[in-house]
Amino acid sequence: MNITKQVEQLLKQGDVDIFLAYRELDGHLIPHGYTLDNLEDLENLKVSQHRYSLEKVATHLTEKKPNLKIGIVARDCNQRALNLLYTWNQLSPENITPLMVNCCPSQTRNHSDCTYLEPKKTGTFKQKKGIDFNENPREFMDNNDNGQRFSRWMYEFSKCIKCYGCRNICPVCFCTDCSLENPDLVEPGALPPEIPIFHLVRATHMAGRCIDCGLCEDACPAEIPLRFLYREMNRIVSDVFDYTPGAGLEKSPFTIIGNEVTLEPRPMDA
């Protein structure tokens, strides 16, 4: 059964009150909520490479109507985001019906690394001064000393126009009140924001939450390699906390006071 039929069935049987997917409009795909009232729209339902954090829309809807039953077209990354939102009480699994679609239309790349994100183009200036999107974070560590790393990051961050696009697109940014808009921490009206603090605050808040969908990096108009940054954060979280956000329904270790820790404080000269 094709997806349009499935959605129609879900709506008609009352399994979901609204189904979140994409709709083609003037040759573009935009996020759209299908309901019984606009069944005719279903003919424009399309699945393609394009993505949007539909879970975020689901979170906002749930906030207004806690018992709303929501269907959602989901790839692997959406599913990880959903899992994370379940563990953080933002959505409850009983109210969500994901319809899984293929992650990777080309069938040639590996699912586990999510993403059909095309290799990004990095210009030569960016390669020289900043960070190559496609570099492996471990190689970045090996190829650059402390000072080089710092200057490359500062180059990248200094381009920030504080548009909050990274936060706005992020499926797991669900706070009602964002610290990055707190005038005590981030001075309003100043550009670029205080770097690298602004970006590190966000990175810290993403630790244990980021499900590596890469939408932030896609959304950034300044081409700051955010996914590159959060991917390394995720590696640390996995090493230190033995936790992969969104992999399951496990609670984030960031809020649990563990019993026993085998880690030792690092010596000062390390």
Site residues (CB under 8 A) for other proteins, limited to 143-182: 144-154, 174-179, 182
In the complex with other proteins, the residue whose CB is nearer, 48 or 182, is: 182
| By the rule CB under 8 A, 233 interacts with other proteins | yes
Q: At closest approach, how far in Å is the CB of 152 from other proteins? A: 8
Q: At closest approach, how far in Å is the CB of 178 from other proteins? A: 7
In the complex with other proteins, the residue whose CB is nearer, 119 or 258, is: 258
Q: At closest approach, how far in Å is the CB of 29 from other proteins? A: 29
For the chain, give the DSSP string: --HHHHHHHHHHTTS-SEEEEEEEETTEEEEEEE-GGGGGGGGGB---S----HHHHHHHHHHH-TT--EEEEE-HHHHHHHHHHHHTTSS-GGGEEEEE--S-TTS-S-STT---PPPPP--HHHHHHS--TTS-HHHHHHHS-HHHHHHHHHHHHHT-----HHHHH-TT---SS-GGG-TTTS-TT-SS-STTHHHHHHHHHHTTT-----HHHHH-TT---HHHHHHHHHHHHHHHH---TTSSSPPPGGG---S-----PPPTT-
Closest CA to 152 of 167, 165, 164, 141: 141
| By the rule CB under 8 A, 191 interacts with other proteins | no
In the complex with other proteins, the residue whose CB is nearer, 1 or 257, is: 257
Number of residues that bind other proteins (CB under 8 A): 62
Contact range with other proteins by CB under 8 A, out of 25-33, 70-78, 217-225, 230-238: 230-238
In the complex with other proteins, the residue whose CB is nearer, 107 or 255, is: 255
| By the rule CB under 8 A, 39 interacts with other proteins | no
Contact range with other proteins by CB under 8 A, out of 3-11, 49-57, 121-129, 245-253: 245-253
Query: What residues make contact with other proteins under the rule CB under 8 A?
Result: 66, 88-90, 137, 141, 144-154, 174-179, 182-185, 187, 190, 194-197, 200, 203-205, 207, 229, 232-233, 236-237, 239-241, 251-258, 261, 263-266, 268-270
